[in-house]
Amino acid sequence: MARRRGLDKHDVITAALATVDREGLDGLSLKAVADALEVQSPSLYSHVDGLNGLLDDLAIAVTAEFGETLRDSVVGVAGDDAVGAFAHAYRRWATANPGRYELSLRKVDSADKRVAGRGAIETMDRVLASFGLSGADATAAGRTLRAALHGFSTLEAADALGRGRHDASFDYLIDLFLEGIRAGARSPS
């Protein structure tokens, strides 16, 4: 194997994400990344802290990417349309990028991961604010929406929803959520 000159952390992250996209998260190894970069595995240790460090770095990168996707989905829309756009963007990204989605769920005890996650959180907060939700109510509604979207996307990716019209079921899920936050907004706390 020829030694590659000018290898940097960005190259390692890019090659690792390509491996995850191609082989899934189970196919990721330092050897697979090194082979893709045409270097020896020990060369990667200059850029990442072993496989766990690489996984943490990937989790931070894909969390930021996912947040940008969600943010971009709601530009220029509010209310019901924003919830729908956010939900559909979530589902599309999670199902189109199963390895990256799994990485976005990785617990990383790092300020970098918290910063990367701000995009999704701030977007959800803005969407829910258009319904008059803030503070604990917005947190509860956001967790509920995330759990519903995660559950649907995960079941769909595992081909565990059964036969039928998944798109119609997903739209029904969004409608139920919207009815729930409207009912919650009408109820005295």
Q: Does the domain made of 1-48 have the CATH classification 2.40.110.20?
A: no
Burial class (CB in 10 A: 0-12, 13-18, 19+), 128: buried
Q: For CATH 1.10.10.60, list the domain ranges present in the chain.
A: 1-48
Task: State yes or no: pLDDT of 163 exceeds 80.
Answer: yes
Task: Give, to the nearest 10 degrees, the angle between helix 111-129 and helix 135-157.
Answer: 110
Which CATH number is 51-186's, of 1.10.287.1080, 3.10.450.30, 1.10.357.10, 3.40.47.10? 1.10.357.10
- Gap between the Cα atoms of 61 and 186, Å rounded: 39
**How does residue 146 score in pLDDT terms, banded at 50, 70 and 90?**
very high
Give ranges for CATH 1.10.357.10 in the chain.
51-186
pTM for this model (two decimals)? 0.90
Contact 149, 90 (CB under 8 A): yes
pLDDT tens track for 45-103: 999 999 999 999 999 999 999 999 999 999 999 999 999 999 999 999 999 999 999 99
